[in-house]
Amino acid sequence: MLGSGSAGNSALVSTSHCHILIDGGLSARQIVVRLEQCGVAPEQLDGLLLTHEHGDHVCGLEVLCRKFAIPIYCNSQTAEAIRCFGLGEHKNWRIFRTGGEFTICDVLVQSFPVPHDAVEPVGYAFHAGNRGLGFITDLGFPTKMLIERLREVHTLVIETNHDEKLLQSDPHRPWPVKQRIMSRHGHLSNAAAASVIEQLLPGKIERVVLGHLSRDCNTPELAISAVRPQMERAGRADLEIFCAITRRFSTDVRKCALLLQWSMTAGLLKESGEHRWSQTAATKIRIRDATEADLPAIVEIHNAAIASGSSTAQLDPVTVEGRREWFRAHSPAQYPIWVADLDSAIGGWLSFREFLPRCAYRGTVELSVYVSEQFRRRGVGRKLLQEAIARGPQLGMHSLVGLIFGHNEPSIALFRVAGFERWGLLPGVARVNQSPRNLTIFGRHV
């Protein structure tokens, strides 16, 4: 558990005869809903396999197991530890010895110890037919035994927990927490995960799924960009790389990170529920000055954000005519509006405006970034911010400021990744649907 922003974990491993849930770190309701989205009823689960007792892996178990008598497979220490999570009454335990093998229906399960700060954490390798799947999340470093066990798998689910630089510069985690995460009993960084995968080459491995990303200290793009070039250098450009991400940020979904349906026999990844697979294809994004012809697209993206209610203080939709004057008040040389071109469509835009009218604030500029619903998670917002940071000084700017609703977590994450820090909080200054909203001020000098 990295903190309140960390998501929980649950995964489904399926063959045509068998359904195994790995960990239950989301609410029981969400587990059931998401299983249904994979076409599996909870009654059909043949077993629930635990990696370790941390809350982001077991928090939904109590309710789930009260409703469904699913056999829980884990080692004795983990069983002991999670009995405290209200599972004292649970009858159906299948205790295994760490390092041992057992079968659930047609799936051979191998367990092995992993170094992590839990009582007896394990990783798994699954074999069905001639296919294999490795599953390692929450580990500080790869042991020799673990690498040997994973040599036989075709697919590897591995944690890429954090980007080392982002973690080190994260202003919200105290130093002891950072040390714990980076320690040999903490979590794998993107770079560490890349080196684990490299050790499995050439081997049987065909694809990797990156998971357990820290929400504050990582992004799918960073994780993928840490792994892909290394694979290419190792002559494995063909290796498929996926990243499991959470799509929506709200308090009930925050606990839930990863639900993946893996069909070992067919070797298919399936999109499911709130989550989707982001494939790694790099998108070409070109940032340019907006022209008036772009105004309809700019307005459309803006209106979608207004409808979502979380990303703009504007409450009513705007019109192209209504925004023309606003548009003409900007110019490429002073307070420009930029658009991000992708595949000949506009994926997002950024506008600058005066922060405060006094001379002393001349170099301080407020910026707004909007990304089209359709082009989320393709690096559009990041690219726009990077451009602002790079070109700001030429435009006479020394400080960039973004005003963001306190509940707009995706935008806050975006600004943080671009090196912005929280400079201020104005509590309850906005009203959205009668509810008071905080306004946060994110800024950085350029």
Q: Interface residues with Zn ion (CB under 5 A)? A: 54, 56, 138
Nearer to Zn ion, 54 or 254 (CB): 54
Least separation in angstroms between residue 56's CB and Zn ion is: 4
> Do the Cβ atoms of 423 and 441 come closer than 8 Å?
yes
CB of 56 or CB of 294, closer to Zn ion:
56
Residue with tokens 């906005």: 430
Q: How many residues does the chain have?
A: 446
Bridge pairing between strands 435-445 and 421-432: antiparallel
Q: What φ, ψ does residue 209 adopt, rounded to 5°?
A: -120, 120
Of 138 and 366, the one with the shorter C-beta distance to Zn ion is 138
Q: How far is the CB of 112 from Zn ion (least distance, A)?
A: 16
CB atoms within 10 A of CB 176: 8
Cβ nearer to Zn ion, comparing 81 with 417: 81
Which CB sits closer to Zn ion, 56 or 62? Answer: 56
Helix runs in 135-212, H state only? 144-150, 164-169, 175-182, 190-199
Q: Which is nearer to Zn ion, 138 or 216 (CB)?
A: 138
Containing 262, the helix (H) or strand (E) segment is strand 261-263
Lookup result for tokens 């599972």: 87
Q: How far is CA 110 from the centre of its chain?
A: 28
Nearer Cβ to Zn ion (25/381)? 25
DSSP 306: H
Nearer to Zn ion, 25 or 273 (CB): 25
* Smallest gap from residue 58 Cβ to Zn ion (A): 10
Residue 180 vs 422, nearer CB to Zn ion: 180
CA 200, distance to chain mean position in Å, is 24
Task: Give the phi and the psi of residue 306 in degrees, each rounded to 5.
Answer: -65, -40
Tally helices (H) and strands (E) across the chain: 14, 24
- Give whichever of 58 and 412 is closer to Zn ion, judged by the CB atom: 58
Q: Which is nearer to Zn ion, 73 or 370 (CB)?
A: 73
Asked if 28 and 35 count as a contact pair (C-beta separation under 8 A), the reply is no
Alpha helices in 271-408 (DSSP H): 295-308, 320-328, 380-391
Q: What is the dihedral of CA 102, 207, 146, 47, to 10 degrees?
A: -30
For residues 25 and 22, what is the distance between their CA atoms, to the nearest angstrom?
A: 9
Rounded-to-integer distance, Cα 21 and Cα 65, Å: 12
What is the CB neighbour count within 10 angstroms for residue 96?
Answer: 18
340/380 Cα distance (integer angstroms): 7
Q: How is residue 368 written in tokens?
A: 């707004």
Least gap, CB of 360 to Zn ion (angstroms): 47
Q: How far is the CB of 191 from Zn ion (least distance, A)?
A: 19
What whole-number distance in Å separates Cα of residue 55 and Cα of residue 257?
Answer: 13
